[in-house]
């Protein structure tokens, strides 16, 4: 640790010739009072006493309950919609595509997804008719009384079918998006290779399973327009869709987040659809309409992680150094474009791992199918790509007879190197130090030796495996520039500083961390800072709460807004260099008396040296990277074929750690989801429908399944992040799948190349292996 601080502490802040470009934030090296302290979660008390108000907790008096009639086939033409005459439909509000006042589209990247299907359906569970009734039970029962007749069309249900293009279900060629990433001369590299290793890896869908299902409440007023409250990550995304659908100007659309019980990407894009549905019912009925999915509907109808197939072909020289990497990465995007292009981009950019390689070609494609559209999920394509890369590294090591740790060490990127998009690694690359620490903390080599000895005489085979990876923080490429985020701080008449952002709290700690940053920047107490409700009528658009960007990007905006507010108070309201809390708020009141408000805001500026070329897919893909090495210890029971993670080590560098309880909490939670993705969570799909859409048969890890998770951080403050922060939220989902499957490889000798791996999958691989021995 000391060694580490000495080595990088010096170069990052003082004389690293690469780090010194452009103005850097001095805050990264400052001693802080609030940042880095274990302050109590802002909304924690409300959550613990049962007072936090989630959307389903809002009193429903006088509201209608909205429900959805969905397609039961993956693809077809709608021939007729009939309503069972046994039901008194006069009691119901009924909405179809014909009731859409504006454009019948969900506004995301490409507006190809209808809000309600009109002439055709392109996936199961596609919404066709909306019903609302004052009685929730009656509303739910009525769904079965609406009959849709179809003329079925041939459906495409996977990557292989889609890429054959025998049936075209989207555009001219089923291709939602493709990228080509090239560096050096791959074709010229194979001839000089000492060794070429190939492999194919697959990653399945995954359900978010936030504990609070999706839900919204919509109100309609002829003069004021539409207002929606609900569980969501991105109020301004919802606003954009409502504007287009309802044909309203921005000032007639209002969206506010209610307390949100988990999201993980599952409430990034989907709430736009639900909000549009509720808004249509509210407009037609003239009543307030609530739509709260039950668990089965939420699991069946909402987005999942994209299934992926990744093929690697890798050339090495005689010393185990990477000469060339050719990667074909394909994901199933589902029936509409949704976020698949950006998920594919992040997958592409993470597919080559934290390694230096002179010759690279990645061809990536997102395929349209008639599956329910896949969407954002923690990691956003990176976990699938990193699973393939890191599983492949162990297979390369086995093929060339090298220690997989040494293979990685020989190929790590270092400061001053250029990665796959030829982004210069300006900031220190700490992979060697993190690797050493992970090996030491997990006692990696001693365990490998001991387990090899013990396994020989036991039905329980133990093993350890690791994964090395990086995760880019913030939006990809020019994304942050396009977002053009604006964040503010004001001081209320009640004497509280208030953070004004559209970023949302859904468990990860946004409220707490941004309040810490504001308190630090303003030189006041944490308890003197509040967070404004993310309501589009009240807060500026500081961008979506996604992509591990909040602490780094929005944190930095709040830090700057705080600095500007202080400067203003010093120059215009007589605040001294040193001041007490009372003096601060007294200066605010003097300023308010003169100007009517105390307010400051800050807009995103790209750090210097960040250039991304979309056309060439080349340049600075991310403002910063977080780095990690994860180690899993597993036990495989060769009688029952069950695999269990016995212990887990997560070592990472994610910039400055702003909160010593919340940050490791993010890592532990992400590792647990990653363990679930590796060993438990299998979406069973039959003809385009999820058939295990219950907690009973879609299994997430319980308290008895999660092993001790040891979390450690190296801290290298990032000059352009909020008080030195980099992204942290998604990183921990990347490492567990490859680390666990590499540990299974170590334990059993079997190369299992797909996740999830349930006992039946492991049995297949191990039995096949026994048969060949």
Q: Can you give the binding site for another protein, defined by CB under 8 A?
A: 38, 40-41, 43-54, 56-57, 59-60, 208-212, 259-264, 294-295, 506-509, 661-662, 664-665, 668-673, 694-696, 700, 702-704, 706, 708-709
Q: How far is the CB of 430 from another protein (least distance, A)?
A: 24
* Residue entry with tokens 């404004």: 532
Residues 171, 763: Cα–Cα separation, whole Å: 41
Neighbouring residues of 609: CB distance < 8 A, sequence distance ≥ 6: 21, 22, 424, 426, 620
Q: How far is the CB of 296 from another protein (least distance, A)?
A: 8
Nearer to another protein, 354 or 729 (CB): 729
Neighbouring residues of 204: CB distance < 8 A, sequence distance ≥ 6: 305, 307, 677, 682, 683, 754, 755, 756
Report strand pairing: 689-690 vs 685-686: antiparallel
Q: What is the phi/psi pair of residue 159, to 5°?
A: -60, -45
Residues 332, 369: Cα–Cα separation, whole Å: 7
Nearer to another protein, 383 or 472 (CB): 383
Q: How far is the CB of 407 from another protein (least distance, A)?
A: 30
Residue 662 and residue 484 in contact, taking contact as beta carbons nearer than 8 Å: no
Q: What is the phi/psi pair of residue 368, to 5°?
A: -80, 140
Q: How far is the CB of 51 from another protein (least distance, A)?
A: 7
Residue 162 and residue 367 in contact, taking contact as beta carbons nearer than 8 Å: yes
**Residue 175, token pair as written in the block:** 């291709």
Q: How far is the CB of 513 from another protein (least distance, A)?
A: 13
Residue 412 and residue 429 in contact, taking contact as beta carbons nearer than 8 Å: yes
Q: How far is the CB of 524 from another protein (least distance, A)?
A: 22
The Cα angle at residue 535 between residues 218 and 301, in degrees rounded to 5 = 50
**Residue 475, token pair as written in the block:** 């939006």
Q: How far is the CB of 262 from another protein (least distance, A)?
A: 4
Q: How far is the CB of 47 from another protein (least distance, A)?
A: 3
* Residue entry with tokens 């009240």: 538
Residue 499 and residue 562 in contact, taking contact as beta carbons nearer than 8 Å: no
Q: How far is the CB of 717 from another protein (least distance, A)?
A: 23
**Residue 368, token pair as written in the block:** 């349209």
Residue 347 and residue 381 in contact, taking contact as beta carbons nearer than 8 Å: yes
Residues 566, 497: Cα–Cα separation, whole Å: 12
Residues 152, 565: Cα–Cα separation, whole Å: 62
Residues 152, 73: Cα–Cα separation, whole Å: 7
Centroid of chain to Cα 103: 29
At 360 the three-state DSSP class reads: strand
Nearest to 625 by CA among 734, 528, 511: 734
Nearer to another protein, 235 or 623 (CB): 235
Nearer to another protein, 346 or 733 (CB): 733
Residues 521, 567: Cα–Cα separation, whole Å: 11
Nearer to another protein, 264 or 355 (CB): 264
Q: How far is the CB of 271 from another protein (least distance, A)?
A: 15
Q: How far is the CB of 10 from another protein (least distance, A)?
A: 33
Nearer to another protein, 144 or 294 (CB): 294
The Cα angle at residue 493 between residues 489 and 496, in degrees rounded to 5 = 50
Nearer to another protein, 294 or 403 (CB): 294
Nearer to another protein, 676 or 722 (CB): 676
Nearer to another protein, 168 or 661 (CB): 661
Residues 249, 227: Cα–Cα separation, whole Å: 13
Nearer to another protein, 4 or 506 (CB): 506
Residues 276, 226: Cα–Cα separation, whole Å: 10
Q: How far is the CB of 464 from another protein (least distance, A)?
A: 20
Nearer to another protein, 231 or 364 (CB): 231
Nearer to another protein, 76 or 670 (CB): 670
């Amino acid at each position: 640790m000391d060694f580490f601080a000495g080595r990088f502490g010096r170069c990052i802040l003082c004389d690293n010739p690469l780090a010194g470009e452009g103005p850097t934030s001095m805050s990264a090296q400052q001693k802080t009072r609030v940042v880095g302290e274990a302050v109590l979660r802002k909304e924690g008390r409300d959550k613990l006493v049962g007072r936090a108000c989630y959307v389903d907790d809002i009193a429903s008096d006088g509201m209608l309950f909205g429900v959805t009639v969905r397609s039961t086939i993956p693809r077809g033409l709608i021939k007729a919609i009939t309503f069972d005459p046994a039901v008194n439909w006069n009691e119901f509000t009924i909405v179809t595509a014909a009731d859409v006042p504006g454009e019948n589209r969900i506004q995301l990247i490409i507006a190809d997804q209808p809000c309600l299907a009109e002439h055709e359906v392109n996936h199961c569970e596609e919404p066709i008719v909306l019903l609302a009734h004052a009685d929730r039970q009656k509303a739910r029962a009525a769904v079965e009384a609406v009959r849709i007749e179809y003329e079925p069309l041939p459906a495409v249900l996977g990557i292989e079918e889609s890429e054959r293009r025998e049936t075209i279900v989207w555009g001219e060629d089923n291709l939602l998006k493709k990228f080509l990433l090239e560096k050096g001369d791959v074709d010229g590299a194979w001839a000089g290779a000492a060794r070429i290793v190939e492999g194919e890896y697959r990653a399945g869908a995954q359900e978010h399973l936030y504990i609070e299902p999706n839900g919204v409440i919509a109100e309609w007023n002829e003069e004021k327009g539409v207002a929606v409250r609900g569980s969501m990550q991105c109020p301004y995304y919802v606003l954009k869709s409502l504007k287009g659908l309802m044909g309203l100007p921005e000032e007639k659309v209002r969206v506010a987040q209610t307390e949100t019980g988990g999201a993980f990407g599952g409430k990034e894009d989907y709430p736009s659809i639900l909000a549009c549905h509720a808004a249509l019912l509210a407009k037609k009925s003239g009543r307030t309409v609530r739509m709260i999915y039950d668990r089965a509907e939420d699991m069946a109808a909402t987005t999942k992680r994209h299934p992926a197939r990744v093929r690697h072909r890798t050339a090495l020289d005689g010393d185990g150094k990477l000469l060339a990497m050719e990667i074909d990465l394909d994901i199933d995007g589902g029936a509409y474009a949704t976020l698949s292009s950006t998920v594919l981009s992040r997958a592409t950019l993470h597919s080559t791992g934290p390694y230096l390689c002179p010759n690279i070609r990645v061809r990536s494609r997102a395929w349209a199918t008639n599956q329910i559209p896949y969407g954002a999920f923690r990691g956003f394509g990176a976990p699938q790509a990193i699973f393939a890369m890191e599983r492949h590294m162990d297979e390369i090591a086995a093929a060339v007879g090298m220690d997989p740790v040494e293979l990685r060490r020989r190929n790590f990127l270092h400061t001053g190197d250029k990665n796959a998009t030829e982004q210069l690694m300006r900031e220190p690359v700490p992979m060697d130090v993190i690797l050493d620490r992970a090996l030491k903390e997990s006692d990696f080599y001693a365990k490998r030796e001991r387990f090899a000895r013990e396994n020989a005489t036991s039905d329980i085979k133990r093993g350890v495996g690791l994964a090395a990876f990086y995760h880019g923080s913030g939006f990809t490429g020019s994304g942050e520039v396009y977002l053009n985020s604006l964040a503010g701080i004001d001081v209320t008449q009640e004497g509280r500083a208030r953070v004004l952002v559209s970023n949302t709290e859904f468990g990860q700690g946004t409220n707490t961390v941004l309040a810490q940053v504001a308190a630090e920047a303003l030189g006041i107490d944490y308890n003197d800072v509040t967070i404004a409700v993310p309501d589009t009528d009240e807060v500026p658009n500081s961008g979506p709460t996604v992509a591990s960007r909040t602490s780094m990007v929005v944190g930095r905006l709040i830090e700057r807004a705080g600095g500007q507010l202080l400067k203003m108070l010093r120059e215009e309201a007589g605040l001294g260099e040193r001041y007490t809390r009372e003096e601060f708020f007294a200066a605010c009141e003097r300023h308010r008396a003169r100007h009517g408000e105390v307010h400051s805001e800050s807009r995103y500026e790209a750090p210097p040296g960040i250039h991304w070329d979309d056309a060439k897919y080349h340049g600075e893909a991310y403002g910063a990277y977080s780095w990690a090495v994860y180690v899993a210890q597993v036990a495989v029971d060769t009688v029952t074929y069950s695999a269990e993670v016995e212990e887990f080590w997560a070592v990472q560098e994610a910039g400055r750690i702003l909160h010593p309880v919340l940050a490791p909490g993010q890592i532990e939670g992400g590792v647990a989801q990653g363990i679930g993705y590796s060993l438990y969570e299998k979406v069973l799909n039959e003809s385009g429908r999820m058939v295990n859409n219950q907690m009973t048969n879609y299994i997430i890890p319980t308290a008895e399944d999660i092993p001790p998770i040891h979390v450690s951080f190296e801290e290298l403050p990032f000059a352009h992040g909020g008080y030195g922060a980099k992204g942290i939220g998604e990183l921990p989902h990347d490492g567990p799948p490859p680390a666990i499957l590499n540990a299974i490889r170590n334990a059993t000798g079997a190369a299992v190349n797909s996740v999830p791996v349930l006992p039946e999958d492991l049995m297949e691989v191990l039995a096949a292996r026994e048969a060949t021995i």
